[in-house]
Amino acid sequence: MKTILFISSNKMLGQGLSVAIRAKPELDLLWAAQLPYSQAVVGADVFHADVVILDIVDQTDMGHAVEICRSMRRKEQNVKILLLVRPEQSVVRKVAVDTKNTELADDFVFCDSSLTYLIAKLEAL
């Protein structure tokens, strides 16, 4: 079973993802918690997260999100990081691609992707 940790200030999105994951026990995914950026690295350790979904809302969050990825890579090599990005923000898209290419994150998904696609990415990580 993969333990999922969601890092975001968007409580509605977190609740929706939590319900969707819990509604499909056959996926073998366990929703651990939703935490703010400030608790991301410690939360990944405390919850023994297998996958961290890191929600990058806009450019102001970008630098902090990349630093979270760096910290997680230094601390815990086994955690997979999936970035959740807004497709309309070209700078954020570029940072997501660069972060994946430098192996600070394992993959990224656009927020306008279907829930089915997001869950498939979670299963694949």
CATH number of 53's domain: 3.40.50.2300
pTM assigned to the model: 0.92
What is the chain's mean pLDDT, rounded?
A: 91
CA 70/CA 75 separation, integer angstroms: 9
Residue from 124, 93, 105 nearest 66 by CA: 105
Q: Per-residue pLDDT tens for 20-49?
A: 999 988 989 999 999 999 999 999 999 999
Residue 42, beta-bridge partner list: none
Domain, as residue range, for 24:
2-124
- Location of structure tokens 């990944």: 44
58: left (phi over 0), alpha (psi -120 to 50) or beta: beta
